[in-house]
Amino acid sequence: MSVRTTGRAVGALFLLAFVVYMTGNALAGSGEAADQARTGAGALLMLANSAAVAGIGVLMFPVLRRHHELSAHVYLVSRVVEAVMLAVGVVFLLLLIPLARDASALPSLASVARQGNLYAYQIAMISLGLGSLMFCRVLFQARLVPRFMAIWGMVGYAVFATGAILEVLGYGVGVTLSIPGGLFEVALGVLLVAKGFPAEPSHDREEAAYL
């Protein structure tokens, strides 16, 4: 694929990942654990999110490598770790189905399964937040997107990673601190679907074309 087409594919995966994870999480968490069909459907959508985020890392690797090889490797690893940890979290959610059939075990073990899902998710978000700082650094330096977008991403992911770390430490602020980074990913996805990445490293006139 051309660099522009790759950018559009990455943008589509950003949006797809957002939609399928939110929908899957809502389905898996909206009913009783014994509702196997609902929980299973939600789990499959969340696994689709894992595939999407890993795909983002793979597609971005050659684009980032043109500008900074270390950033390309760090971002790829961070996305793979995110995908794996989110998949581990899905396994914990699926454990709620057999646990719901044993009333004596449900209160304690189901709580462990939910906590396992939560911690797996937060570790995934720490990986995403820290690795994406390198991603946004390349976006800024290579002007692959307007620079204000790259700055927004760097700030948003730094706040995002901080919120996830605080969640692991027991401070319930992760949801609030995830908003700037989450909005950035949606905005970046829309921008890339519409524009892709510039075919060549952009200059001021090319950046103006995005505005």
At residue 85, the pLDDT reads 95
Full DSSP string of 18-36: HHHHHHHHHHHHHS-TT-H
Work out how many domains the chain is built from and give that number.
1
Give tens-digit pLDDT for 138-174: 999 999 999 999 999 999 999 999 999 998 888 877 6
* Predicted model pTM: 0.86
Q: What is the span of the domain harbouring residue 181?
A: 3-210
Give tens-digit pLDDT for 44-72: 999 999 999 999 999 999 999 999 999 99
Say whether 66 sits in a helix, a strand or coil: coil
- Are 88 and 120 spatial neighbours (Cβ–Cβ below 8 Å)? yes
Question: How many Å apart are CA 129 and CA 182, to the nearest integer?
Answer: 11
Question: How many Å apart are CA 91 and CA 117, to the nearest integer?
Answer: 8
Tell whether the model's pLDDT for residue 124 goes beyond 70: yes
At residue 208, the pLDDT reads 43
Residue with tokens 């103006």: 208
Tell whether the model's pLDDT for residue 96 goes beyond 90: no
